[in-house]
Amino acid sequence: MKKLIVSLFSIAVLIGGAAGVASAESNGKTDLNLDALKTEYETWLKEEVSSSQDIELLESLEAYEQLSEEEQLKYIDYMYNPEAQEAVMDAFTNIVEVDNSQTLTETLDDYEGIEISTEVVTPSVNKDDISIMASRTSTYKRYVTVFGIKIFQSTSVVDYTHNGKKVTGVGAGDHYVSRNLNPTLNISWSGKRQTYSSTRAQSRVNMQWNFVHKNLGITYGGGELGVWGNHKNQAGGWFNAH
């Protein structure tokens, strides 16, 4: 799914955040036939599983099938409901500090079962290796789970080198949707670039999305997604909505 336009559905809003709400537009009020959407979604998800060798995708289907009927309907409502989507957007751009190789998870108030996580991963380094010329890869992930099922994840990586005192170069960078469980969101990428200074290397990209709500209109938005690493083997990332 790297570097491709990805077809999903309500996660159009997941990457935005509070600023993303300002740059997104939607028409009409929520008027969803949850039973019909549930049938449509389940058919799509099963087709995705049957055409894929992704074990995690199969596990997601099995986890969904183990939800109660009430939870399944709430799951579908969260995915299609513009109000729920905007609530996730607000939470998705909260500024969070995460130590290397740790994950921070926050719950979404008033929406049972929704969690938003941030994960930063860098290679572990022995103290004796700090001053040695080193190649590093920093990874920044943001993902959303509903009732324990990961429905969306963006992943950003940047390769760089340092000598313990300063960053000496930047290599490849990449940004992609590494998990989605939604069929009607279009995501596109543009303007990827890598830069570095003596203290930091980074990769950034512009991400745009649009999602067509059935009978409700279009939600769309975009922003800049980025990841960084430094000569102290620290890492982080960001999303700035346009």
Contact 171, 160 (CB under 8 A): yes
The structural domain count of the chain equals 1
Examine residue 86 and state whether it is found in any structural domain, yes or no: yes
Residues 6+ apart with CB under 8 A from 130: 164, 232, 233
Average pLDDT, the chain: 80
| pLDDT per residue as tens digits for the range 27-64 | 334 578 999 999 999 999 999 999 988 999 999 999 99
What confidence score (pLDDT) does residue 185 get? 72
- Check: CB of residue 203 under 8 Å from CB of residue 174: yes
Task: Quote the pLDDT of residue 125.
Answer: 62
In the DSSP assignment, the letter for residue 2 is B
- Distance, in Å, from the CA atom of 239 to the CA atom of 97, rounded to the nearest integer, reads 13
**pLDDT the model gives residue 217:** 62
17: left (phi over 0), alpha (psi -120 to 50) or beta: left
Residue 113 lies in a domain: yes
* pTM to 2 decimal places: 0.80
Q: Which residues contact 160 (CB under 8 A, 6 or more apart)?
A: 135, 136, 137, 138, 167, 169, 170, 171, 196, 201, 229
Residue 217 falls inside a structural domain: yes
The pLDDT, as a whole number, for residue 124 is: 59
Q: What is the pLDDT of residue 199?
A: 94
Q: Which residue positions in the chain have pLDDT lower than 70?
A: 1-30, 93-97, 99, 123-133, 184, 211-219
Instruction: List the domain range (segments joined by +) for residue 217.
Output: 6-241
Q: What residues form DSSP beta bridges with 210?
A: 186, 220
User: What is the structure's pLDDT at 99?
Assistant: 67
Element (H, E) at 26: none
- Can you give the pLDDT at residue 93? 66
Identify the pLDDT of residue 130: 55
Asked, for residue 1, whether it belongs to a domain, the answer is no
**Could you give the CA distance from residue 198 to residue 176 in angstroms, rounded to a whole number?**
27
Residue 72 lies in a domain: yes
E-strand spans in the chain? 6-8, 102-107, 114-121, 134-146, 149-162, 167-180, 185-196, 200-213, 217-230, 235-241
Tokens of 150: 């990961």
Residue 27 phi/psi, 5-degree rounding, is -120, 140
Is 150 strand, coil or helix?
Answer: strand
Closest CA to 70 of 46, 45, 38, 47: 38
CA distance 160 to 65: 43
